[in-house]
Amino acid sequence: QEVPEVNELQEIDTMLAETVEGWTQQWKEEGLQEGLQQGRQQGLQQGLQQGRQEGRQQGRQEGESALLQKQLERRFGTLPNWVHERLGQATPEQLETWGLDLLDAAGLDEVFKAH
pLDDT in tens, 36-57: 888 888 888 888 888 888 888 8
Of 9-13, 54-58, 60-64, 99-103, least confident by mean pLDDT is 9-13
Residue 78 is predicted with a pLDDT of: 95
Residue 112 has a CB neighbour count (10 Å cut-off) of 19
Mean pLDDT of all residues belonging to the chain = 87
| pLDDT of 4 above 70 | no
Which amino acid belongs to residue 110?
E
Place 90 in a pLDDT band, splitting at 50, 70 and 90.
Answer: very high
Q: How many whole angstroms from its chain centre is CA 24?
A: 37
At 6 the pLDDT is 63
Residue 77, sorted as left (phi over 0), alpha (psi -120 to 50) or beta, turns out to be: left
State the pLDDT confidence band at 3, using cuts at 50, 70 and 90.
low
Across the range 63-77, mean pLDDT stands at 95
**Which pLDDT does position 1 carry in this prediction?**
61
Q: Where are the domains of the chain?
A: 9-111
Q: Tell me if 98 sits within 8 A of 111, measured CB to CB.
A: yes
The pLDDT of residue 8 is above 90: no
